[in-house]
Amino acid sequence: MGVRCGTSVMALVLVLLLVGVSVNAQNCGCASGLCCSKYGYCGTTSDYCGDGCQSGPCTSSGGGSPSTGGGNVGTIISQSVFDGLAGGAPSSCEGKGFYTYDAFIAAANAYSGFGTTGASDNQKRELAAFFANVMHETGGLCYINEQNPASIYCDATSTSWPCASGKSYHGRGPLQLSWNYNYGVAGQNIGFDGLNNPDVVGQDATISFKTAVWFWMQNCHSAITSG
């Protein structure tokens, strides 16, 4: 797993893509200190800064106002954005049709705070970084399984998560989950037998995306959202 928590050049491109999802709605151009209402007008009352506020000193969880989570990842990563990312994979790819939007949303909603922490820009930054890594690890959502794995990734010293006979713990899924101990812990958290049935990560799209979001939350979420 070559996951990088920071934002690469690809991530910056994705940030622009993600911001573009809602750019038409955020065209108030309000002066400093004014809120942009959900209808696109500037003001300072609750009608402007409350529910649906897009930017400015919002009192709701929208726009630039920080939130503690509970947002909807689907408002940033829409079906069309996801399809734009997945659509570049050739028809010959094993991942073509495997990585679905519904599977991603189900996985995202299973982890509180993923893509919903902080202000809107922070949420977009995290989701952009996540998908930058996904695109890198899977060759643009083309691969499910690691290409030409160097080994079966069995760490015999991991006595808490002993390797099962005949099983390979090579990279699988959006962030290429690897090694027996990662499969073991991920399986325990998500609800599958990672040691005896690692293949399910390459067979069930929702479980596959859940392993990616699980790994991200364990290793990258705090670094991205606190930066």
Q: Report residue 45's pLDDT band, with 50, 70 and 90 as the boundaries.
A: confident
Can you give the pLDDT at residue 68? Answer: 32
Residue 115 C-alpha from the chain's centroid? 7
Can you give the pLDDT at residue 62? Answer: 38
Q: Report residue 121's pLDDT band, with 50, 70 and 90 as the boundaries.
A: confident
CATH number at residue 36: 3.30.60.10
167 and 178, same domain (yes or no): yes
Tokens at 158, concatenated: 């991991």
Q: How many structural domains compose the chain?
A: 2
pLDDT at 67 over 50: no
The separation between the first and the last C-alpha atoms of the chain, rounded to the nearest angstrom, is 23
Q: Which of 94, 126, 137, 146 is catalytic?
A: 137
95 and 121, same domain (yes or no): yes
Tokens at 48, concatenated: 């402007």
Distance of alpha carbon 8 from alpha carbon 21, whole angstroms: 20
To the query of whether residue 137 is one of the catalytic residues in this protein, the response is yes
Can you give the pLDDT at residue 22? Answer: 40
Q: Name the residue range of residue 182's domain.
A: 1-24+69-227
Q: Say if residues 14 and 136 touch (Cβ distance below 8 Å).
A: no
Most confidently predicted of 79-88, 115-124, 201-210:
201-210
Q: Tell the burial category of 68 from Cβ atoms under 10 Å away from its Cβ (0-12, 13-18, 19+).
A: exposed
Can you give the pLDDT at residue 10? Answer: 59
Q: Report residue 162's pLDDT band, with 50, 70 and 90 as the boundaries.
A: very high
pTM, two decimals, is: 0.75
56 and 126, same domain (yes or no): no
Q: Report residue 57's pLDDT band, with 50, 70 and 90 as the boundaries.
A: confident
